[in-house]
Amino acid sequence: MSATPGARAPRPDEELPVELLEARATIDNIDAALIHVLAERFRCTQRVGHIKARHDLPPADPAREARQVARLRALAEESGLDPDFAEKFLAFMVKEVIRHHEDIKAGYRADS
């Protein structure tokens, strides 16, 4: 990241308020948990991709995606998270999952 013009140089951690350091440590732990959960989710979607490929099903399932959007928007609202953000995040994940499913299906075709 580039420095903002006129901004002061960052202070070393030992000069920052303990409260800020504790909040950042919590964020770091949550980020690590998110990565682990996303990795598990993608392992599950890989399995789905193989099942779809074996049964010659399309990589995308627009009806399921629409249900997921509605479900996650509701969960986001209940959790105090911006539902638009949740929908964008889901769209990003689904796009990546579909790409993986297309690659898996292509691999099954190549093996035929």
Q: In the prediction, which pLDDT does 52 show? A: 97
Tally the domains of the chain.
1
Using CA atoms of 35, 41, 46, 49 in order, give the dihedral in degrees to the nearest 10: -140
Q: In the prediction, which pLDDT does 1 show? A: 52
Which pLDDT tens digits describe the chain residue by residue (112 residues)?
A: 555 666 777 778 878 999 999 999 999 999 999 999 999 999 999 999 999 999 999 999 999 999 999 999 999 999 999 999 999 999 999 999 999 999 999 999 887 6
Q: In the prediction, which pLDDT does 6 show? A: 66
DSSP 64-91: HHHHHHHHHHHHHHHHT--HHHHHHHHH
CATH code of 30's domain:
1.20.59.10
Question: Which residue range(s) make up the domain with 99?
Answer: 17-111
Q: In the prediction, which pLDDT does 111 show? A: 79
| 60 belongs to a structural domain | yes
Helix axes 83-111, 18-54, angle to 10 degrees: 40
Q: Which of 40, 78, 46 shows the shortest CA–CA distance to 59?
A: 46
Phi, psi for 58 (deg, rounded to 5): -70, 150
**Would you state the structure tokens that stand for residue 19, as one six-digit string?**
């409260």
